[in-house]
Structure 1
Amino acid sequence: MRIATFNVNGIRAAQRRGFEQWLRERDPDVVAVQEMRSRAATIPPGVFGPYHLAYDEGVLAGRNGVAVLTRHAPAAVRTWSGTAMLRASGETHTHTVELDPAPLARGLREFADQGRYIEVDLADAPITVASLYLPKGGLPAHLQKPGRMREAPDGGARYERKMRFLDGFARQLTRSRRDARARGRELLLMGDLNIAHTRHDVRNWRRSNQVEGYLPEEREWFGSILSPRTLVDVVRDRCPDTDGPYSWWSWLGQSFADDTGWRIDYHLATPRLARAAVAAGTDREPAADLRMSDHAPVVVDYEL
């Protein structure tokens, strides 16, 4: 079973840059999508080909939005908002449906309607697949230096918001993993986590210790959710002690050409599923002008 995760950075822009061709040629069985950045009514017709779509667009116009594409209609769908758009291949409706609301861990309520998390139970495999778009965050107040930041100083507000998310999500992830196990399923969490876990996950790691996404407390949190008994970083497990493969490069300068990237898009799987991975990597385009997004798809083949 081929499973991919892809932050498309806007599905309409990604379509113009070749998303449909990638989807046809790579032929994944499941795709977790982040940053759709589209209202249901403005998703390009036919962009997802023969796939079923489960989509939580959130309430922030032009931002966020997470989805899971599957070959077969999902056996179940859960979102933090309690609503989602469920659409089969060839359907054109744009209405959402009410779902059984997923119980939320303490601290996640403020994020529930932002279109950051959706999970589905696959109909053709005993797997629960989740698509996550974790907040980018910012710098703590003591690291903010006016004139040396692309964004205006905010007193650490974005940093504190991300840390609240991480705190609540760790509890939520434990609940989702245990619930999946109770249903006889493996859990596969995929998406843009906006954290590079180790020095192998960011090219300029020595200069990044005071950059959001590679702060020591963010990397410590990431390590806390991984273990041989809970969740495994599948790509790193398949590619130990190597730099990358990176999945995000800035649009600016020569970052892509020089492979000055970050690995922030992940497959995190329960151990049994992780052991079933037989191939893993990043679909990095051969040239900058062929990029579909500032991210590249991360694709893993699982022998189920």
Structure 2
Amino acid sequence: MKIASINVNGIREAVERGFLDWLAEQDADVVCVQNLKAKSFELDDSVLYPEGYEGYFLDAEQDGFSGVGLYCRKIPKAIMYGLGFEQCDNEGRFLQADYDRFSIATFLMPSGDDDPAAKQTFMTQYLEYLNKMARKRREYIICGTWHIAHKTLDLANWTDNQTTPGFKPEERAWMDQVFGPTGFIDTFREVNRDADQYTWWPKLNQEVSRTRQEGWRLDYQIVGPNFRRNVKDAWIDTDATFSEFAPLIVEYDLEL
């Protein structure tokens, strides 16, 4: 099973820059998208239902803001919209597809650039939910932009960014909880420990930043410990340039 995750940073702009062509070439079982910045009823059928996929979306209440989606080759048994707390659900940040053996979710964390307190509140509530997930018998694959670089390996110029949202000590400590006591696994780092592996580059001088590898790894696919051995390969598609984010792709020894 192949899962791709990509922060499109505006679905309509991404489509203009080749997102649908990229999607058609992936042969992925599920594609998780984040930060649509559009309501699903505003989108053409070619975006809602690309050939071979069924699309599911959770819109943010605010226009031109947030929103997540799932493109699925196999129709899920059920779709879960949101997590039950207002900040997540009103801002369109979590959408889950349930299959027989496990669930696949697309997720978008607040960046914290404009409102660090709101991000911290979200993290507190979300960690409570992750702890509940970890205690269930069902397995989960949660994909998306977490807006936190966990380790110094996960961003360039980390010494200059220790007070920058996305690399603050309290944010990294929160990720320590996710990958420590809560028990989830960073699938990418299970199979790839290389440096200069990034999924986001600053918008200003984006081309230069990518060439110099001056980026951040803000995107993850996480699983519970029972799926650790099912992670077969993981890579970042830096050739995809329809967004300032790059797709994160993971192959699992699993079937839907």
TM-score range, shorter chain: over 0.9
Structure with greater helix percent: 2
The one-letter amino acid paired with 1:226 is F
What amino acid maps onto 1:78 in structure 2? Answer: M
The match for 1:291 is: 241
2:186 matched residue in structure 1: 233
How is 1:117-132 mapped onto 2 (pairs within 5 angstroms)?
Answer: 117-122=94-99, 126-132=101-107
The alpha carbon displacement at 1:243 in A equals: 1.5
> Which amino acid counterpart does residue 14 of structure 1 have in structure 2?
A
Query: Are 2:118 and 1:168 equivalent residues in the alignment?
Result: no
Q: 1:220 to 1:255 in 2, by over 3 A?
A: same
Name the counterpart of 1:44. Answer: 44
AA partner of residue 259 (structure 1):
Q
How is 1:84-233 mapped onto 2 (pairs within 5 angstroms)? 104=84, 108-122=85-99, 126-138=101-113, 158-179=115-136, 181=137, 185-227=138-180, 230-233=183-186
Alpha-carbon shift at residue 229 of structure 1 (Å): 7.2
Q: Identity over aligned residues, as a percent?
A: 32
RMSD: 1.7
1:67 corresponds to which of 61, 66, 69: 69
SS in 2 for 1:135: coil
Which SS does the other structure have where 2:143 is aligned? Answer: strand
Residues 37-82 of structure 1 show CA distances to partners (whole Å, capped at 9, x for unaligned) of 11122223213322111210120111111111111211111122xx
Give the whole-Å Cα distance in 2 for the aligned partners of 1:119 and 1:244.
30
Partner of 2:219: 265
Q: Distance in 2 between matches of 1:220 and 1:259?
A: 25
Unaligned runs of 5+ in 2: none
1:256 alignment partner, SS class: helix
Q: Deviations over 1:152-210 (max 9, x none)?
A: xxxxxx1111110001100011223334x2xxx32111100000000010011111101
| Residue aligning to 1:250 | 202
Cα distance between partner residues in 1 of 2:34 and 2:99: 18
Q: Which has the larger radius of gyration?
A: 1
With structure 2 as the length reference, what TM-score do the two structures score? 0.92
Take 1:21 and 1:61, find their aligned partners in 2: how far apart are those partners?
Answer: 26
Q: Distance in 1 between matches of 2:92 and 2:151?
A: 28
Aligned-partner Cα distance in 2 for 1:229–1:40? 33
Q: Is the 8 A contact 2:2 2:30 kept in 1?
A: yes
How many angstroms apart in 1 are the aligned matches of 2:211 and 2:86? 41
> Is the 1:14–1:293 Cα contact (8 Å) retained in structure 2?
yes
Aligned length: 250
8 Å contact from structure 2 (residues 32, 144) kept in 1: yes
